Protein backbone atom coordinates (compact mmCIF):
# COMPACT_ATOMS: atom_id res chain seq x y z
CA UNK A 1 0.00 0.00 0.00
CA UNK A 2 1.35 3.44 -0.98
CA UNK A 3 0.96 6.31 1.49
CA UNK A 4 1.46 10.02 1.03
CA UNK A 5 4.42 11.46 2.95
CA UNK A 6 3.49 11.93 6.63
CA UNK A 7 3.68 15.73 6.48
CA UNK A 8 1.18 15.81 3.60
CA UNK A 9 -1.14 13.48 5.49
CA UNK A 10 -0.95 15.74 8.55
CA UNK A 11 -1.90 18.77 6.49
CA UNK A 12 -5.06 17.07 5.23
CA UNK A 13 -5.99 15.37 8.49
CA UNK A 14 -5.63 18.47 10.67
CA UNK A 15 -8.17 20.40 8.57
CA UNK A 16 -11.19 21.37 10.66
CA UNK A 17 -9.91 19.59 13.78
CA UNK A 18 -10.56 21.13 17.20
CA UNK A 19 -8.56 18.91 19.58
CA UNK A 20 -5.53 16.82 18.66
CA UNK A 21 -3.78 14.92 21.44
CA UNK A 22 -1.18 15.13 20.32
CA UNK A 23 0.01 16.48 16.98
CA UNK A 24 3.54 15.31 17.66
CA UNK A 25 2.39 11.79 18.48
CA UNK A 26 0.18 11.58 15.40
CA UNK A 27 3.00 12.71 13.13
CA UNK A 28 5.32 10.14 14.71
CA UNK A 29 2.78 7.38 14.19
CA UNK A 30 2.17 8.46 10.59
CA UNK A 31 5.93 8.32 9.96
CA UNK A 32 6.08 4.84 11.45
CA UNK A 33 3.12 3.78 9.29
CA UNK A 34 4.76 5.27 6.19
CA UNK A 35 8.12 3.59 6.83
CA UNK A 36 6.61 0.16 7.54
CA UNK A 37 3.78 0.43 4.96
CA UNK A 38 1.31 -0.56 7.68
CA UNK A 39 -1.98 1.36 7.97
CA UNK A 40 -3.06 2.96 11.21
CA UNK A 41 -6.19 1.63 12.90
CA UNK A 42 -8.79 4.41 13.17
CA UNK A 43 -11.88 4.09 15.32
CA UNK A 44 -15.07 6.14 15.66
CA UNK A 45 -18.15 5.05 17.54
CA UNK A 46 -21.79 5.93 16.95
CA UNK A 47 -24.62 5.15 19.35
CA UNK A 48 -27.78 4.57 17.27
CA UNK A 49 -30.00 6.77 19.43
CA UNK A 50 -31.87 8.15 16.40
CA UNK A 51 -33.01 6.21 13.33
CA UNK A 52 -31.32 8.50 10.79
CA UNK A 53 -28.11 10.44 10.22
CA UNK A 54 -27.90 14.15 9.40
CA UNK A 55 -25.09 16.36 8.13
CA UNK A 56 -23.91 16.97 11.70
CA UNK A 57 -22.97 13.30 11.95
CA UNK A 58 -21.14 13.42 8.64
CA UNK A 59 -18.54 15.96 9.84
CA UNK A 60 -16.89 13.15 11.78
CA UNK A 61 -17.45 10.68 8.96
CA UNK A 62 -15.70 13.00 6.51
CA UNK A 63 -12.63 12.86 8.75
CA UNK A 64 -12.92 9.07 8.74
CA UNK A 65 -13.10 9.18 4.94
CA UNK A 66 -9.92 11.29 4.82
CA UNK A 67 -8.07 8.67 6.84
CA UNK A 68 -9.55 5.99 4.59
CA UNK A 69 -8.45 7.69 1.39
CA UNK A 70 -4.96 8.04 2.84
CA UNK A 71 -4.81 4.27 3.16
CA UNK A 72 -5.65 3.69 6.82
CA UNK A 73 -8.05 1.15 8.37
CA UNK A 74 -11.42 2.48 9.49
CA UNK A 75 -13.44 0.81 12.25
CA UNK A 76 -17.02 2.06 12.31
CA UNK A 77 -18.24 1.03 15.76
CA UNK A 78 -22.00 0.75 16.14
CA UNK A 79 -22.65 1.22 19.84
CA UNK A 80 -25.53 -1.18 20.19
CA UNK A 81 -24.37 -1.95 23.74
CA UNK A 82 -23.42 1.58 24.81
CA UNK A 83 -26.70 2.95 23.44
CA UNK A 84 -28.49 0.85 26.04
CA UNK A 85 -26.59 2.76 28.75
CA UNK A 86 -26.98 6.26 27.33
CA UNK A 87 -24.09 8.68 26.85
CA UNK A 88 -24.42 11.46 29.46
CA UNK A 89 -22.21 13.86 27.45
CA UNK A 90 -23.73 17.33 27.55
CA UNK A 91 -26.80 16.11 29.42
CA UNK A 92 -28.07 17.84 32.54
CA UNK A 93 -30.15 14.87 33.60
CA UNK A 94 -30.25 11.13 33.21
CA UNK A 95 -31.49 10.08 29.77
CA UNK A 96 -34.11 7.30 29.67
CA UNK A 97 -32.64 4.07 28.24
CA UNK A 98 -33.65 3.03 24.74
CA UNK A 99 -35.50 -0.18 23.99
CA UNK A 100 -33.80 -2.97 22.06
CA UNK A 101 -36.15 -2.34 19.13
CA UNK A 102 -35.17 1.36 19.00
CA UNK A 103 -31.48 0.48 19.13
CA UNK A 104 -31.77 -2.18 16.43
CA UNK A 105 -33.67 0.18 14.13
CA UNK A 106 -31.11 2.92 14.61
CA UNK A 107 -28.21 0.53 14.09
CA UNK A 108 -29.60 -0.69 10.76
CA UNK A 109 -30.06 2.79 9.30
CA UNK A 110 -26.75 4.12 10.68
CA UNK A 111 -24.86 1.26 9.09
CA UNK A 112 -26.51 1.71 5.70
CA UNK A 113 -26.42 5.51 5.56
CA UNK A 114 -22.75 5.60 6.61
CA UNK A 115 -21.79 4.14 3.25
CA UNK A 116 -23.06 7.24 1.49
CA UNK A 117 -19.77 8.69 2.74
CA UNK A 118 -17.43 5.83 3.53
CA UNK A 119 -16.14 3.15 1.17
CA UNK A 120 -18.20 0.07 1.99
CA UNK A 121 -15.44 -2.32 0.88
CA UNK A 122 -12.79 -0.62 3.01
CA UNK A 123 -14.83 -0.06 6.18
CA UNK A 124 -14.82 -2.53 9.05
CA UNK A 125 -18.30 -2.34 10.56
CA UNK A 126 -18.34 -3.72 14.11
CA UNK A 127 -20.87 -3.78 16.95
CA UNK A 128 -19.50 -3.26 20.45
CA UNK A 129 -22.15 -5.58 21.85
CA UNK A 130 -20.15 -8.44 20.33
CA UNK A 131 -17.39 -8.00 22.93
CA UNK A 132 -19.22 -6.14 25.72
CA UNK A 133 -22.31 -8.34 26.05
CA UNK A 134 -20.32 -11.50 26.93
CA UNK A 135 -18.67 -9.73 29.90
CA UNK A 136 -19.72 -11.02 33.32
CA UNK A 137 -20.14 -8.95 36.46
CA UNK A 138 -16.62 -9.77 37.64
CA UNK A 139 -15.27 -8.30 34.38
CA UNK A 140 -17.20 -5.09 34.99
CA UNK A 141 -15.79 -4.81 38.53
CA UNK A 142 -12.26 -5.27 37.20
CA UNK A 143 -12.86 -2.64 34.54
CA UNK A 144 -14.24 -0.17 37.11
CA UNK A 145 -11.14 -0.77 39.23
CA UNK A 146 -8.99 0.73 36.47
CA UNK A 147 -10.33 4.26 37.03
CA UNK A 148 -11.03 6.48 40.03
CA UNK A 149 -14.20 8.33 40.96
CA UNK A 150 -12.23 11.54 41.47
CA UNK A 151 -11.02 11.50 37.88
CA UNK A 152 -14.47 10.64 36.57
CA UNK A 153 -15.96 13.62 38.45
CA UNK A 154 -13.58 15.94 36.61
CA UNK A 155 -16.02 15.73 33.72
CA UNK A 156 -17.76 19.08 33.43
CA UNK A 157 -21.27 17.68 33.01
CA UNK A 158 -20.88 15.37 36.02
CA UNK A 159 -19.33 18.15 38.09
CA UNK A 160 -22.12 20.57 37.19
CA UNK A 161 -24.87 18.09 38.00
CA UNK A 162 -23.20 17.21 41.30
CA UNK A 163 -22.99 20.88 42.30
CA UNK A 164 -26.63 21.40 41.33
CA UNK A 165 -27.60 18.26 43.29
CA UNK A 166 -29.03 16.71 40.14
CA UNK A 167 -29.27 12.96 39.81
CA UNK A 168 -26.24 11.00 38.47
CA UNK A 169 -26.84 7.29 38.06
CA UNK A 170 -23.99 4.85 38.59
CA UNK A 171 -24.43 3.38 35.12
CA UNK A 172 -23.65 6.82 33.64
CA UNK A 173 -20.27 6.76 35.38
CA UNK A 174 -19.58 3.47 33.65
CA UNK A 175 -20.32 4.82 30.16
CA UNK A 176 -16.91 6.49 29.56
CA UNK A 177 -15.17 3.29 30.72
CA UNK A 178 -17.25 1.10 28.46
CA UNK A 179 -16.56 3.35 25.47
CA UNK A 180 -12.87 3.38 26.38
CA UNK A 181 -12.83 -0.42 26.49
CA UNK A 182 -13.80 -0.41 22.82
CA UNK A 183 -10.39 1.15 22.14
CA UNK A 184 -8.67 -1.47 24.30
CA UNK A 185 -10.44 -4.30 22.49
CA UNK A 186 -9.64 -2.92 19.04
CA UNK A 187 -6.12 -1.72 19.99
CA UNK A 188 -6.65 1.37 17.87
CA UNK A 189 -4.14 4.07 16.97
CA UNK A 190 -6.57 6.99 16.65
CA UNK A 191 -10.05 7.62 18.01
CA UNK A 192 -12.26 10.28 16.45
CA UNK A 193 -15.21 12.03 18.05
CA UNK A 194 -17.08 15.31 18.35
CA UNK A 195 -15.87 17.95 20.78
CA UNK A 196 -18.48 16.79 23.29
CA UNK A 197 -16.69 13.42 23.38
CA UNK A 198 -13.26 14.72 24.41
CA UNK A 199 -13.43 13.43 27.99
CA UNK A 200 -14.56 9.96 26.90
CA UNK A 201 -11.80 9.77 24.30
CA UNK A 202 -9.19 10.79 26.85
CA UNK A 203 -10.43 8.04 29.18
CA UNK A 204 -9.67 5.69 26.29
CA UNK A 205 -6.04 6.87 26.31
CA UNK A 206 -5.79 6.29 30.06
CA UNK A 207 -7.40 2.86 29.93
CA UNK A 208 -5.13 1.69 27.13
CA UNK A 209 -2.14 2.59 29.32
CA UNK A 210 -3.68 0.56 32.16
CA UNK A 211 -3.83 -2.44 29.83
CA UNK A 212 -0.22 -1.98 28.74
CA UNK A 213 -1.10 -0.66 25.29
CA UNK A 214 0.24 2.37 23.47
CA UNK A 215 -2.37 5.12 24.10
CA UNK A 216 -4.49 6.20 21.17
CA UNK A 217 -4.28 9.58 19.50
CA UNK A 218 -7.40 11.66 20.21
CA UNK A 219 -8.88 13.84 17.51
CA UNK A 220 -12.14 15.81 17.77
CA UNK A 221 -14.19 17.56 15.11
CA UNK A 222 -16.58 20.50 15.59
CA UNK A 223 -20.27 20.13 16.28
CA UNK A 224 -22.02 21.39 13.16
CA UNK A 225 -24.42 24.26 13.71
CA UNK A 226 -27.99 23.87 12.48
CA UNK A 227 -29.70 25.65 9.58
CA UNK A 228 -30.84 28.62 11.67
CA UNK A 229 -27.38 29.55 12.97
CA UNK A 230 -25.95 32.95 12.04
CA UNK A 231 -22.92 35.13 12.70
CA UNK A 232 -22.72 37.62 15.55
CA UNK A 233 -21.12 41.08 15.44
CA UNK A 234 -17.64 39.57 15.74
CA UNK A 235 -18.27 37.20 12.83
CA UNK A 236 -18.53 34.10 15.04
CA UNK A 237 -21.15 31.51 14.08
CA UNK A 238 -23.73 31.22 16.86
CA UNK A 239 -26.74 28.95 17.20
CA UNK A 240 -27.85 25.49 18.24
CA UNK A 241 -26.04 22.46 16.89
CA UNK A 242 -27.76 20.50 14.14
CA UNK A 243 -30.44 18.31 15.64
CA UNK A 244 -33.54 16.49 14.47
CA UNK A 245 -35.35 17.40 17.68
CA UNK A 246 -34.77 21.11 16.93
CA UNK A 247 -35.81 20.66 13.28
CA UNK A 248 -32.71 22.50 12.05
CA UNK A 249 -31.12 19.61 10.21
CA UNK A 250 -30.44 18.24 6.74
CA UNK A 251 -30.98 14.48 6.72
CA UNK A 252 -28.63 12.17 4.83
CA UNK A 253 -31.61 10.19 3.52
CA UNK A 254 -33.84 13.18 2.69
CA UNK A 255 -34.96 13.84 -0.86
CA UNK A 256 -32.76 15.92 -3.19
CA UNK A 257 -35.39 18.68 -3.10
CA UNK A 258 -35.38 18.88 0.70
CA UNK A 259 -31.60 18.80 0.95
CA UNK A 260 -31.08 21.43 -1.72
CA UNK A 261 -33.82 23.75 -0.46
CA UNK A 262 -32.58 23.62 3.12
CA UNK A 263 -28.95 24.26 2.13
CA UNK A 264 -29.89 27.23 -0.03
CA UNK A 265 -31.71 28.72 2.98
CA UNK A 266 -28.65 29.06 5.23
CA UNK A 267 -26.98 32.39 5.92
CA UNK A 268 -23.90 33.34 3.89
CA UNK A 269 -21.50 33.05 6.88
CA UNK A 270 -22.90 29.62 7.72
CA UNK A 271 -22.38 28.56 4.10
CA UNK A 272 -18.61 28.96 4.50
CA UNK A 273 -18.70 27.00 7.74
CA UNK A 274 -20.46 24.16 5.90
CA UNK A 275 -17.95 24.37 3.05
CA UNK A 276 -15.04 24.02 5.46
CA UNK A 277 -16.49 21.07 7.38
CA UNK A 278 -18.43 19.21 4.69
CA UNK A 279 -16.89 19.93 1.29
CA UNK A 280 -14.33 17.73 -0.40
CA UNK A 281 -12.93 20.78 -2.16
CA UNK A 282 -9.45 21.86 -1.09
CA UNK A 283 -9.07 24.71 1.37
CA UNK A 284 -7.36 26.70 -1.38
CA UNK A 285 -10.40 26.30 -3.66
CA UNK A 286 -12.81 27.33 -0.90
CA UNK A 287 -10.67 30.33 0.06
CA UNK A 288 -10.43 31.43 -3.57
CA UNK A 289 -14.20 31.14 -3.96
CA UNK A 290 -14.75 33.17 -0.81
CA UNK A 291 -12.36 35.87 -2.07
CA UNK A 292 -14.32 36.02 -5.35
CA UNK A 293 -17.54 36.57 -3.40
CA UNK A 294 -15.95 39.31 -1.30
CA UNK A 295 -14.59 41.05 -4.41
CA UNK A 296 -17.91 40.82 -6.23
CA UNK A 297 -16.68 38.43 -8.92
CA UNK A 298 -19.03 35.69 -7.67
CA UNK A 299 -22.55 36.10 -6.31
CA UNK A 300 -23.09 34.52 -2.86
CA UNK A 301 -26.05 32.58 -4.26
CA UNK A 302 -23.79 30.92 -6.84
CA UNK A 303 -21.31 29.93 -4.13
CA UNK A 304 -24.19 28.50 -2.11
CA UNK A 305 -25.45 26.62 -5.16
CA UNK A 306 -22.04 25.00 -5.65
CA UNK A 307 -22.05 23.84 -2.03
CA UNK A 308 -25.62 22.55 -2.18
CA UNK A 309 -25.06 20.74 -5.48
CA UNK A 310 -21.91 19.08 -4.15
CA UNK A 311 -23.74 17.70 -1.13
CA UNK A 312 -26.84 16.59 -3.06
CA UNK A 313 -24.52 14.85 -5.53
CA UNK A 314 -22.79 13.04 -2.68
CA UNK A 315 -25.98 11.68 -1.16
CA UNK A 316 -27.82 11.16 -4.46
CA UNK A 317 -26.13 11.87 -7.82
CA UNK A 318 -25.07 14.69 -10.13
CA UNK A 319 -28.15 14.53 -12.37
CA UNK A 320 -30.45 14.88 -9.35
CA UNK A 321 -28.43 17.86 -8.14
CA UNK A 322 -28.78 19.54 -11.53
CA UNK A 323 -32.50 18.74 -11.67
CA UNK A 324 -33.31 20.21 -8.26
CA UNK A 325 -31.16 23.26 -8.97
CA UNK A 326 -33.09 23.98 -12.17
CA UNK A 327 -36.39 23.47 -10.35
CA UNK A 328 -35.27 25.73 -7.49
CA UNK A 329 -34.12 28.43 -9.90
CA UNK A 330 -37.45 28.28 -11.72
CA UNK A 331 -39.51 28.41 -8.56
CA UNK A 332 -37.60 30.93 -6.45
CA UNK A 333 -35.34 33.05 -8.61
CA UNK A 334 -37.89 33.47 -11.40
CA UNK A 335 -40.86 33.13 -9.03
CA UNK A 336 -42.48 30.44 -11.16
CA UNK A 337 -44.74 27.69 -9.96
CA UNK A 338 -43.05 24.25 -9.88
CA UNK A 339 -43.99 21.71 -12.56
CA UNK A 340 -45.39 19.19 -10.07
CA UNK A 341 -47.95 20.68 -7.68
CA UNK A 342 -49.85 18.29 -5.37
CA UNK A 343 -53.58 18.08 -5.99
CA UNK A 344 -55.60 18.23 -2.75
CA UNK A 345 -59.34 18.05 -2.11
CA UNK A 346 -60.69 19.71 1.03
CA UNK A 347 -64.26 19.16 2.20
CA UNK A 348 -66.27 22.16 3.46
CA UNK A 349 -68.95 22.15 6.15
CA UNK A 350 -70.47 25.50 5.11
CA UNK A 351 -70.44 28.12 2.36
CA UNK A 352 -66.97 29.38 3.32
CA UNK A 353 -63.91 28.02 5.10
CA UNK A 354 -61.24 30.03 6.99
CA UNK A 355 -57.97 30.17 5.01
CA UNK A 356 -56.02 28.99 8.07
CA UNK A 357 -58.16 25.83 8.18
CA UNK A 358 -57.67 25.31 4.45
CA UNK A 359 -53.88 25.49 4.86
CA UNK A 360 -53.95 22.88 7.61
CA UNK A 361 -56.34 20.56 5.75
CA UNK A 362 -54.22 20.81 2.60
CA UNK A 363 -51.05 19.92 4.51
CA UNK A 364 -49.49 23.36 3.99
CA UNK A 365 -49.34 24.17 7.71
CA UNK A 366 -49.05 22.04 10.84
CA UNK A 367 -51.63 23.95 12.89
CA UNK A 368 -54.05 26.86 12.71
CA UNK A 369 -51.62 28.94 14.74
CA UNK A 370 -48.75 28.32 12.31
CA UNK A 371 -51.11 28.95 9.39
CA UNK A 372 -52.06 32.36 10.78
CA UNK A 373 -48.38 33.16 11.37
CA UNK A 374 -47.60 32.37 7.72
CA UNK A 375 -50.40 34.68 6.61
CA UNK A 376 -49.22 37.51 8.89
CA UNK A 377 -45.69 37.11 7.53
CA UNK A 378 -46.89 37.62 3.93
CA UNK A 379 -45.84 34.05 3.18
CA UNK A 380 -49.14 32.86 1.66
CA UNK A 381 -50.18 33.39 -1.95
CA UNK A 382 -53.46 32.39 -3.60
CA UNK A 383 -53.37 32.26 -7.39
CA UNK A 384 -50.27 34.46 -7.38
CA UNK A 385 -51.63 37.11 -4.98
CA UNK A 386 -50.30 37.54 -1.44
CA UNK A 387 -52.84 37.25 1.36
CA UNK A 388 -52.31 39.17 4.61
CA UNK A 389 -55.73 38.88 6.26
CA UNK A 390 -55.49 36.04 8.79
CA UNK A 391 -59.31 35.99 9.02
CA UNK A 392 -59.80 35.53 5.28
CA UNK A 393 -62.29 32.87 4.18
CA UNK A 394 -62.53 30.98 0.91
CA UNK A 395 -65.64 29.91 -0.97
CA UNK A 396 -65.89 26.67 -2.93
CA UNK A 397 -63.57 26.52 -5.91
CA UNK A 398 -60.10 25.56 -7.11
CA UNK A 399 -57.11 27.53 -5.80
CA UNK A 400 -53.35 27.33 -6.35
CA UNK A 401 -51.87 28.08 -2.94
CA UNK A 402 -48.26 28.70 -1.93
CA UNK A 403 -47.36 28.70 1.79
CA UNK A 404 -43.86 29.55 2.95
CA UNK A 405 -40.86 29.13 0.66
CA UNK A 406 -41.41 25.69 -0.80
CA UNK A 407 -44.94 24.41 -0.10
CA UNK A 408 -47.46 24.43 -2.97
CA UNK A 409 -50.84 22.78 -3.50
CA UNK A 410 -53.71 22.99 -5.97
CA UNK A 411 -56.67 22.86 -3.62
CA UNK A 412 -60.18 21.88 -4.68
CA UNK A 413 -62.47 23.29 -2.00
CA UNK A 414 -66.02 22.00 -1.88
Domains delineated in the chain: 6-221 (3.40.50.620), 230-333 (1.10.240.10), 343-413 (3.10.290.10)
**Per-residue pLDDT tens for 255-282?**
999 999 999 989 999 999 999 889 988 8
More confident residue, 226 or 338: 226
| Cβ partners under 8 Å of residue 50, min gap 6 | 106, 244
What mean pLDDT value characterizes the chain?
A: 87
Confidence (pLDDT) at 92:
45
**Per-residue pLDDT tens for 83-102?**
777 665 545 454 566 777 87
Say if strands 380-382 and 385-386 run parallel, antiparallel, or are unpaired: antiparallel
**Per-residue pLDDT tens for 55-72?**
998 999 989 999 999 999
CA separation for the pair 356, 341 (Å, rounded): 20
User: Please, how many CA atoms are within 13 Å of residue 300, restricted to the half-sphere of its CB?
Assistant: 11
Which region among 136-145, 169-178, 188-197, 212-221 has the lowest average model confidence (pLDDT)?
169-178
**Per-residue pLDDT tens for 158-176?**
888 788 888 877 878 888 8
Amino acid sequence: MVFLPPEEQMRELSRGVVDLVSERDLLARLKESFEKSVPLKIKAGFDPTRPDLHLGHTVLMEKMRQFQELGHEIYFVIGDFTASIGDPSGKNKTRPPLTKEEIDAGARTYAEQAFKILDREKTKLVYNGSWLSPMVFADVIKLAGRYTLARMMERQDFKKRWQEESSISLHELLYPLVQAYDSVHLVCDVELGGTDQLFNLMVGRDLMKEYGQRPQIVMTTPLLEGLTAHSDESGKIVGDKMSKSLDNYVGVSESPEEQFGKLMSVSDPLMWRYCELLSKESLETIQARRADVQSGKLHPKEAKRLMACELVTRFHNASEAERVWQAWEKQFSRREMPDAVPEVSVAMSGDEMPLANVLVSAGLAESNGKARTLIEQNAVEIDGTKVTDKLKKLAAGVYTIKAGKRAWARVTLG
